[in-house]
Chains A and B, each alone.
Chain A
């Protein structure tokens, strides 16, 4: 069964460092998303990506964040200069159509020290 994969599963970094979180969405999907979940809190939307550009972003997704689909399979989230408050689980999701189900990856646990 097709699934969304994410690497790495865990990432520890120092404050101010750049991190890149990687995702491989389901192969025939067209819509790609990043969400994050701070420990003990709700899953919250960060950004959506369609047709090789950002279609929507939340207030959290400031200039320190960027997304890219560098090739036909990978979808990346870059945090340019990490802050302590960026520590969270980051989930990638993809869907095949406008209103269709979003399937989530297993997540990357990011810890900023």
Chain B
């Protein structure tokens, strides 16, 4: 069964306290991995796509990395506005398009 597992479920950080979120996956036919941010009551907002092991992408205080079995989202010196749920998703290849298999997410709270 295709699985995407995220840890921890929730994370509380002080402003400026760096940390990492984990996403592990067992998705057959996996073609890369996506990270999204979701604010309460909103749709997933795209952050990063990673296609191959060893790849890294950065955006402001966020850096995503990918290995053969897992991905990490590193948050450096977070601010309260980084508070959100962070979702990872494995694209399961279909004949046309990709079906995204989502993890349950990590709820991040950053306190000032």
Contact = CB atoms under 8 A, between A and B. Distances in A.
A109 interface: yes
B31 interface: yes
- Please indicate which of the listed interface residues B32, B36, B94, B98 has the most CB atoms of chain A within 10 Å of its own CB: B98
Given A107-B42, A109-B41, A102 B100 contact: yes
B87 interface: yes
- Give the size category of B's interface with A: 20 to 34
B107 to A, nearest CB: 11
Contact of B98 (A35, A98, A107): A98
B11 interface: no
B99 A45 contact: yes
B43 A95 contact: no
Interface of B: 31-32, 34, 36, 41-46, 49, 51, 87, 89, 91, 93-105
Q: Give the 4 A-B CB pairs with smallest separation, nearest first.
A: A55-B96, A104-B43, A50-B96, A31-B97
